[in-house]
Structure 1
Amino acid sequence: MAIETDYLRYTPSIETLEPDEAETSRALNETMRSISETTLAHGGHAIRSVHAKAHGALRAELEVAPDLSPELAQGLFAKPGRYPVVMRFSTIPGDILDDSVSTPRGVAIKVLGVEGERLEGSEGDATQDFVLVNGPAFSAPGPKPFLATLKLLAKTTDRAEGLKKAASAALRGVQSAVVATTGSPSPTLAILGGQPETHLLGDSFYSQVPLRFGDHIAKISLVPVSPEMRALANKPLDDTSAANAIREAVMAHFSIHGGTWELRAQLCLNLDDMPVEDASVVWPETASPYRTIATLTAAPQASWSEARAAYVDDGLSFSPWHGLAAHRPLGGIMRMRKSAYEMGKRFRAEKNGRRIEEPKNLDALPD
């Protein structure tokens, strides 16, 4: 394992902006807004343009690991502590689809009571968000390919769900063949509907793109470690025909069991093997493994209800730009997310007539 002095130090110069990045950002924002406009027109309610469908929301606690080595004791994790957390599980599309249209899953984590120098746009808040997906790398290397993928998804929003179900079933077969041949799934196939229909609580989740980690640079992962959730890794859902099969599986688990995850950081060694601007590259774990920095624990609870969904889906927003300057999002994909997520937040607040703000506590989260 690398020693502390081997890890690359953070400097602003590690980022390289594309010459026409502002135009790409504008086009991406317009595309995301068009998705939201379409679903609003069809459903009468403003929802997220990505990760629209929630499969559960959990009240949890984050405990920073004690005695972290200096390179890991950074930012939020600089000293031991316990923090209240809300977690939102979701799938990627911007329209609400039956779960038989199987796409990558995400989890958004909001840590409350976090003090320190803030990122621009989150001054006065005391939260830290981590936005994670169940694959180690992003489906596109940078802003322009990301925009191209989003435009493709925008064209299919709220259209021909029956065809999407058939296509998803076929793509899952193709994905199985890809895994058998290469040993790893295709992120592009997963986004188009080729995500295996497994239990969400067995998944590991990743930031996919890097962020500043105090003096260093890191990617973040969330890994289930409690025995009941580890047993769900790659386990098929009991009833894949149910429209809300994932949500029902999460509810069934948390009605009986709690859950424990480890939050882990993978520190960057160099920009050749572990680039900041190419989000499609999986950083090699043989060179720099993910190392535990905190534990997330959720007690048994009602993981979904109409009231809880309304509080989290309509009253909260999650963005990697809600947080500490010590965890500044890095790379082109992260730069695109800043204005896109802000636009989506404003759109939902305006159209639904509801304030969206950073919580001071979770007293209002329905049980």
Structure 2
Amino acid sequence: MTKFALPVLFRPSVEFIGAEENDAILELETLFLSMAHRVAQQEGVAHRAVHAKGHALVRGTFQVHGDLPPELAHGLFAKARCFEALVRFSSPPAEQLPDTVSTPRALALKVLHVEGERAAGSLPGHSQDFLMVNGPAFTAPTPAGFVGPAKLLAATTEKMPRTKTVISATLRGAEAALEAVGLQSGKLKGLGGEPQRHPLGETYFTQVPFLYGPYMAKFSLAPLSPALQALAGTAIPNEGDAQRQAIQSALASEEALWAFNVQLCRDLERMPIEDASIAWPEEVSPWITVATLALPPQRSWSGLSEQTEKSLAFSPWNALAAHRPLGAVNRARKRVMAVSRQFRSNFNRCPITEPDGSN
């Protein structure tokens, strides 16, 4: 049986603010707010500044497993309990593009009625959010490294939809060629080269680290039920709302199960906190299942879903203190998402509320 190093205890010194960080975050705030403004002016409604297009908004349960080993029994996972949960499937960027422009798949999980001390900056209420995408590492190591891609997104927002579709097809071909030889490119995927695969067959990752009680960890969701596992790598049509239709069809008549996994930091050199572009190696620290997300058969999108989206927000900082976000990218997300959330609420004249009724 393979033995792994003990998890690294969190200490404040593992986080550090680089010289360029504040200026980069200020620039990202301006860029993402400008995208939100442009989309709102064009479409008459303010969407999220990232992951604007929703494909499904569904209800389920989040079952924390019992008898977890001591290193895993912390925070939300301290004891066995079943929570209500909301799950939103979406894709970037800030505009409502057809799925012929294929960008990364995203999943936001909101675990409801959670008890415990809240992280500073948490939304009012009693939920724990986890934001994930279908890749293990972020496209840039720090906020400064993401300014360039953000400028490109801002420059093309609400422009050239037909050209974007053509470019996306070209990039998907380039990505397929890379994957054929065992490689992949996060940049190609982010620009529109994401393979047209079923979103329910994907594995989703937080990409960035969080506290895990006294330790540090990343989180993931992996298909668990045979029906979902069979969708891994399955192609979907290259058309306008293909993801929405694929999810609706899959969830219409069969329960869907995901394993919620934790990867503890066991080596700070190979599993850094401040470089979000590095996937933590599984041979150093394997993913361990601590909970199960279950979605019963249901209608995954409707007019009600679209209306609910206007008043609902997901944030990595909407969290228990035991799972506070760590690292520069998370610090950037705290400020950028707060600005976007406030603009969306003001423009739509719709207060952002938590599902448990808290404002």
Map of 2:219 onto structure 1: 220
Q: Give the partner amino acid of 2:27.
A: A
Partner residue in 1 for 2:204: 205
Corresponding residue SS for 1:130 = strand
- Equivalent position of 1:126 in the other structure: 126
Q: Kindly tell me: are residues 259 and 170 of structure 1, through their superposed partners in 2, closer, same or farther at Cα, counting changes over 3 Å?
A: same
Q: 1:115 maps to which residue?
A: 115
Matching residue of 1:170: 170
Which ranges of 4 or more aligned residues in structure 1 deviate by more than 3 Å?
none
5+ residue gaps, structure 2, are none
> 2:193 matched to which residue of 1?
194
Give the deviation of 1:224 after TM superposition. 0.9
Q: d(CA) in 2 for partners of 1:265 and 1:319?
A: 19
Q: Can you give the 5+ residue segments of structure 1 that lack an aligned partner in the other structure?
A: 363-367
Which of 339, 348, 351 is the equivalent residue of 2:347?
351
- 8 Å contact kept, 1:112–1:361: no
Instruction: Give CA deviations for 1:146-173 in whole Å, capped at 9, x if unaligned.
Output: 1221111111111111111111111011
Match of 2:276 in 1: 279
Matched with 2:264 is: 267
Give the structure 1 partner of residue 301 of structure 2: 304
CA displacement, residues 76-97 of structure 1 (integer Å, 9 cap, x when unaligned): 0011101110000000211111
Once the two structures are superposed, the pairs formed by residues 28-177 of structure 1 within 5 Å of their partners are 28-122=28-122, 124-177=124-177
Deviations 1:174-216 (A, max 9, x none): 11111223x2321110000110001010000000011111111
Conserved? CA contact 2:259–2:293, under 8 Å: yes
Partner Cα distance (1:39, 1:92) in 2: 13
Q: CA shift at 1:268, angstroms?
A: 0.5
CA 1:259/1:122 → structure 2, altered by over 3 Å: closer, same or farther?
same
Distance 1:73 1:9 in 2: 14
Pairwise CA distance, 1:124: 4.9
Matched residue SS, 1:221: strand
- Answer yes or no: is the 8 Å Cα contact 1:204–1:221 preserved in 2: yes
CA shift, 1:318, in A, is: 0.4
CA separation in 1, counterparts of 2:78 and 2:147?
A: 36
8 Å CA contact retained: 1:63, 1:295: yes
Whole-angstrom CA distance in 2 between matches of 1:358 and 1:175: 39
| Equivalent-residue separation in structure 2 for 1:2 and 1:35 (angstroms) | 48
Report which stretch shifted further, 121-130 or 293-302. Answer: 121-130
**Secondary structure of 1:129 counterpart:** strand
Q: Which of 248, 257, 261 is the aligned partner of 2:245? A: 248
The equivalent residue for 2:325 is 329
Identity fraction in percent:
42
Q: Check whether the contact 1:317–1:357 (CA below 8 A) recurs between aligned residues.
A: yes
Whether the 8 Å contact between 1:2 and 1:287 is mirrored in structure 2 is: no
Q: Distance in 1 between matches of 2:123 and 2:133?
A: 26
Alpha carbons of 1:2 and 1:309: their partners in 2 closer, same or farther (altered >3 Å)?
A: farther
Give the CA deviation at 1:24: 1.6
One-letter code aligned to 2:189: A
Q: TM-score of the superposition, structure 1-length normalised?
A: 0.95
The amino acid across from 1:39 in the alignment is: V
CA distance in 2, matches of 1:301, 1:308: 12
Task: Judge which range, 45-54 or 170-179, deviates more.
Answer: 170-179
Larger mean CA deviation between 6-15 and 46-55 belongs to: 6-15
| Post-superposition offset of 1:74 | 1.1
Tell me which residue corresponds to 2:231. Answer: 232
Provide closer, same or farther for how the CA distance between residues 306 and 123 of structure 1 changes in structure 2, counting only shifts above 3 A: closer
The 8 Å contact of residues 223 and 261 in structure 1, kept in 2 or not, is answered as yes
For 1:198-249, what per-residue CA distance to the aligned partner results, in whole angstroms no more than 9, with x for missing partners? 1010000000011111111101000111111110000001x323x1011001
| Counterpart code for 1:255 | A
- The DSSP-based 3-state class of the residue aligned with 1:144 is helix
Aligned AA for 1:359?
A: P
8 Å Cα contact 2:51-2:91 kept in structure 1: yes
CA gap 1:124/1:235 in 2 versus in 1, 3 angstroms: closer
Which residue identity lines up with residue 16 of structure 2 in the other structure? Answer: T
Whole-angstrom CA distance in 1 between matches of 2:121 and 2:354: 12
In 2, the alpha carbon distance for the partners of 1:2 and 1:351 equals 54
Paired with 2:68 and 2:303, the residues of 1 have a C-alpha distance of 40
State the SS of the aligned residue for 1:179. Answer: helix
Give the aligned residue type for 1:308: S
**Displacement of 1:123:** 6.8
Q: Secondary structure at the match of 2:153?
A: helix
SS of equivalent to 1:261: strand
Q: How many residues align?
A: 357
Give the aligned partner of residue 319 of structure 1.
Answer: 315
Deviation readout 1:284-328 (Å, 9 max, x if unpaired): 0111111001000010001000112210x2011000000111101
- In the TM superposition, what is the alpha-carbon distance from 1:359 to its structure 2 partner? 2.2
Give the residue type in structure 2 aligned to 1:292.
T
Scaled by the length of structure 2, the TM-score of the pair is 0.97
- The two structures, once aligned, show a CA RMSD in angstroms of 1.3
**What secondary structure is seen at the aligned counterpart in 1 of 2:350?**
coil
Give the match for residue 365 of structure 1. Answer: none
Name the CA distance, whole Å, in 2 between partners of 1:18 and 1:310. 40
